Amino acid sequence: MMKNKNEMLKTLVIMDYQNHKVDTGVDITNLDNILNITIEIVTGDEIATVVFADGHIEKFDSCPCNRWLDFLDHEYILYSKEYDINLIPDWVNRKTSYDI
């Protein structure tokens, strides 16, 4: 079950190629614990890679399937403490995985 819009703003939510939302459970209300978030769009599915302040890295794929073909459609930095990038406020309002 998806959360309401206010709750979705609290956690990192990625989309698959059909624009179904997948909650990663990663808290984005306090970015002190996060160094970097990158988003890859592979065959329309968003894949988020999160680098945490303690050094561990987690990857979240919006589609738990095995793709027959992987096309890297786009890749971008969503958040970076080092480079002072924070696209999260605009990003949470996207309608499809291609809206950035």
pLDDT digits (tens, 9 = 90+) for 90-99: 898 899 888 8
Q: In Å, how far are 45, 49, 98 from 32, measured between CA atoms?
A: 27, 16, 27
- Tokens at 50, concatenated: 């999160």
Per-residue pLDDT band at 6 (split at 50, 70, 90): very low
Domain boundaries defined on the chain: 5-91
Q: How far apart are CA 55 and CA 1, in angstroms?
A: 31
Query: pLDDT tens, 46-78?
Result: 999 999 999 999 999 998 777 766 788 899 999
Q: How far apart are CA 2 and CA 4, in angstroms?
A: 7
Q: For residues 16 and 46, is the Cβ–Cβ distance under 8 A?
A: yes
Q: List, in sequence order, every residue forming a beta bridge with 48; answer none if it has no partner.
A: 39, 60
Q: Model pTM greater than 0.75?
A: yes
